Structure 1
Amino acid sequence: MKVLSDEEVSLLPDTPYNLWVRGELDDHVDAPEGFRVEIIGGEVVVSPPPGLPHNAIAGDITLVFNRALGPDFPWRTDSGTGMSLVGIGDGYVPDIMLIDQEVYLAARRAGVRTVVPDQVELVVEVTSSSNAKNDQQPTGRAHRNNKWNGYAGAEIPYYLLVDRSPKIARAILYSIPDQALGAYLHQESWAFGEAIHLPDPFDIDIDTTEWRSWDN
């Protein structure tokens, strides 16, 4: 993972956020093929593509959602689309987003490049060793804002964090976002190997039997 320095940012032809929204930031930071460019806590962060253990977990979750598709499960998954947080000037690329099917279809027909938080019901992030602190709940007095704060401040109703850190190895569902605090007020967690249950409006279970921390 690389964070652009203030000097590098000052050489950009526009603000990082404006470039990111237009899809031009990747070119100016010379990101290698497959690398993810995001603005997290006001900083330009360039992350390498995740490996198979990370992608396998994200794939497990997506598969569960896709198998549940039907008249009583009105959600669509999205991976790889950016989420624009205009209020704070950040831009994230979540591992998975869950979006109402009608909202998803409207966005698709409108040809938008990125979605906005109001369109998203749940986000999923799976941590990797190089950038876990971008996804985890910040700790300590000197912490900087990250995706956890951004999702809460944007009032994303649910944030499912799959934390592959060997010290944690848990899936944590954050809910009840507080916009003013930029924090989630409630959480529920499951150790790897335990079945995750997502509450209404999803009412779905996710098997975590094959999930492992990043030291395995």
Structure 2
Amino acid sequence: MRGESHNVSAVAHYYTLPDTPYNLWLRDELAEQLHLPNDGTKVEVVGGEMVVSPGPTYDHNLIVQDVQRALFAAEMADPGFRWRCVHTMDLNLSEIRDGYIPDLIVLDVDTSDKAREAQARHLLPDQVGLVLEVTSRSNAADDRQPALSRSTGTKWNGYAQVGLPYYLLVDRAPRSAQTVLYSDPDPASGAYLHFESWKFGETIRLPEPFGLEIVTDAWRPWDG
């Protein structure tokens, strides 16, 4: 398991879990088994490993809100705009037995209506058009394309393996401070074959089928 130092209890229970991390995550039992506090701390299964992360900071949440507001503004301006979004929603990558909680999930209006009617507890990759992840200091490596020294996959690999069409990564690390849109996933290799990037302060222009602009003037890297 990977996580912050405050998750001592989680480490203590790693070898006594009654089922696999993925199965427990799927049943919404993993956080309880790890005795995690109810303070925004989240647990995901990335590359087959449990990843425990503290709740996001305020500026992190505002970046997510900026993307959400751009989607809502497009919907208000054009009744035919077909995209909706939801945050803090579980995404079940059953094909690779991973479970993520993206910062934002974008799906078309028909799929959104059906998920709402079904009172869905998890979404599946084939229901999703785009996912947003905003990096945090504690777990940024889990969101990015993996380093050569890494022995397990990241969300970048997982999203590509299940064929998720678009992965929007806002990397707040001071050395990068950019947004990258990954597309053209290759499930066989677990890699995205195309990307486009924007520095903070530049306007993100998502291509069709979204046709959306996102202003990033207020976005800043984390301190340090």
Q: TM-score, normalised by structure 1?
A: 0.95
Which residue of the other structure, out of 211, 214, 217, is the alignment partner of 1:203?
211
What is the deviation of 1:110? 1.3
Partner of 1:152: 160
> Structure 1: which 5+ runs fail to align?
none
The structure 1 segments of at least 4 consecutive aligned residues displaced by more than 6 Å after TM superposition are none
1:25 aligns to 2:30 (yes or no): yes
| 1:155-210 deviation per Cα after TM superposition (whole angstroms, max 9, x unaligned) | 11000000000000000000000000000000000000100000000001100001
What secondary structure sits across from 1:27 in the alignment? helix
% identity of equivalent residues:
49
Contact 2:13 2:33 in 1 (8 A): no
| Equivalent position of 1:92 in the other structure | 100
Match of 1:35 in 2: 41
2:71 is aligned, of 65, 84, 97, to 65
How far, CA to CA, are the matches of 1:117 and 1:159 in structure 2? 12
- Whether contact under 8 Å (1:121, 1:156) holds in the other structure is yes
How far is the alpha carbon of 1:8 from its aligned partner? 3.3
Structure 2, unmatched stretches of 5+, are none
3-state DSSP class of the match of 1:77? Answer: strand
Cα distance, 1:142 vs. partner? 3.6
CA distance, structure 1, for counterparts of residue 59 and residue 44 of structure 2: 22
In structure 2, give the amino acid aligned to 1:45: V
AA in 1 matched with 2:19: D
1:29-178 residue pairs with structure 2 within 5 A? 29-33=34-38, 34-69=40-75, 70-178=78-186
In structure 1, distance between residues paired with 2:131 and 2:71: 13
Equivalent residue, structure 1, for 2:19: 14
Q: Say if 1:9 and 1:16, in contact at 8 Å, map to a contact too.
A: no
3-state SS of the aligned residue for 1:66?
helix
Distance 1:143 1:16, change over 3 A: closer
SS of residue paired to 2:72 = helix
2-structure distance, mates of 1:144, 1:21? 20
How far apart, CA to CA, are the structure 2 residues paired with 1:40 and 1:24? 16
